[in-house]
A = this chain, B = another copy of it.
Amino acid sequence: IAKEVAKLLEMKAQLGGDEGKHKFVLKTPKGTRDYSPKQMAIRERVFNAIITCFKRHGAEVIDTPVFELKETLTGKYGEDSKLIYDLKDQGGELLSLRYDLTVPFARYLAMNKITNIKRYHIAKVYRRDNPAMTRGRYREFYQCDFDIAGQFDPMIPDAECLKIVHEILSDLQLGDFLVKVNDRRILDGMFAVCGVTDSKFRTICSSVDKLDKMPWEEVRSEMVGEKGLSPEAADRIGEYVQLHGGLELIEQLLQDPKLSQNKLAKEGLGDMKLLFEYLTLFGITGKISFDLSLARGLDYYTGVIFEAVLLQQENDHVEEPVSVGSVAGGGRYDGLVGMFDPKGRKVPCVGVSIGIERIFSILEQRVEASEEKIRTTETQVLVASAQKKLLEERLKLISELWDVGIKAEMLYKKNPKLLNQLQYCEDTGIPLVAIVGEQELKDGVVKLRVVATREEVNVRRESLVEEIRMRTSLP
């Protein structure tokens, strides 16, 4: 037997030892990441700015499950449907992870027969995309959505959505930005007068949507080559999609001999004019551009669409500002709720989605570059001891502090060295140390040390809480 075992061991060695053993890979799934405490601290700053804005505009908040019935998502995303994550069929319902927050919102409205709501929703969505994670694109990422549902007078809620984008991007101080605005009705009208047949509207719209990533020549050859559009029609589209401007462009197009004859385009242009009047009252037209090349990929938009892009910083010494990527987008989708309602009842909706991940990437890089020290805890005081055998006294004191709401920590050692305790405060930014010692216990005091100045004062035990509060209250 011993001989047999030796032979087997030799064979195993030849085979490379552990080769038979499954090698476990220690990683997060492709396109996903963990957030460290430092990243979370930055993330919470961004969320706070966004939530504050949403609440300023009177929004309620809802939440929906991370997965939906597969059929809830079917037929809502056009060509992007292939990016939906499905769950395995383990018996029971067929489920998919949500792809955005808009379709679940529409499902929620139809299911609860809600015809009137202003809500925000901040949650993760899932897309089996090929992520460029360095540019802040992931397969699991947050969306921060604000939507207004209900039958209202034209363009008032639409204008508020743009105001919100303007407020958030200004608040976050991400540098210069531009919000491009267009309208699906203007696009469709434009396609019609350029000679595109109705059945090709959506697919030609998808091609136009690529204009922010590829030059016109490539988009044109996709339209003519892949999608069978006539070169003349493509060229007519090519003329329109170069146009961008403000009120004067809208007026000009309202006089356009072809567009002005098209009912859809005329409606869209009329509303666009109204929108710009409201945006003028809000004082934000300086960063809004009516842009005929903006198309947006999703199928469900029916009216105004918009997208906010950050512009290259001035100090990058670039002649003309260059777009470095979309950070918010949205639009009007008046038909989506009706797709869920058994009787097809429509609830007009308009909304905006803030793309938090790219914003977060930018701020993270900025913090790295500035070497700003970010605290990841809010601890006000470390309960420490100067001598050995004082664990019980530390436990008693820290318990008293917790019970009155003081944020306190201690080292989980029976007899920690004072130096280690002070070092812990330096490392984590704790501003105060409450030191218990034998003499202090006898005198009924605690030595309170200010970490930054090394100042030490004896504080009577009964005044300690007040003293800590006073010294750590925000100015």
Contact = CB atoms under 8 A, between A and B. Distances in A.
Interface of A: 24-30, 32-37, 40, 43-44, 55-69, 71, 85-90, 92-93, 95, 97, 107-108, 110-112, 117-119, 124, 126, 128, 140, 148, 150, 152-153, 156-157, 159-160, 163, 167, 278, 281-283, 340, 342, 376-379, 391-392, 395-396, 399, 402-403, 405-409, 412-414
A399 B340 CA distance: 35
B26 A60 contact: no
Given A28-B64, A88-B88, A88-B89, 16 more contacts: A26-B107, A26-B111, A30-B93, A40-B62, A56-B407, A58-B378, A58-B409, A60-B377, A67-B140, A85-B90, A86-B87, A86-B88, A92-B128, A156-B412, A167-B403, A281-B395
Contacts of A64: 28, 34-35
Given A65-B32, A128-B90, A392-B281, A58 B108 contact: no
Contacts of A24: 71, 340, 342
Contact of A26 (B89, B97, B340): B340
Please name the 10 residue pairs, one residue from A and one from B, whose CB atoms are nearest each other, closest first: A37-B60, A152-B412, A58-B409, A32-B65, A35-B63, A86-B88, A58-B379, A156-B412, A281-B395, A60-B376
Given A278-B395, A281-B392, A281-B396, A29 B414 contact: no
A408 to B, nearest CB: 7
Contacts of A107: 26
A126 B216 CA distance: 46
A282 B110 CA distance: 52
Contact of A413 (B112, B126, B152, B282): B152
Contacts of A117: 37
A80 to B, nearest CB: 14
Given A153-B413, A342-B26, A63 B40 contact: yes
Nearest to A85: B87
B412 A150 contact: yes
A407 B55 contact: yes
A29 B148 contact: no
A104 to B, nearest CB: 8
Contact of A167 (B32, B126, B379, B402): B402
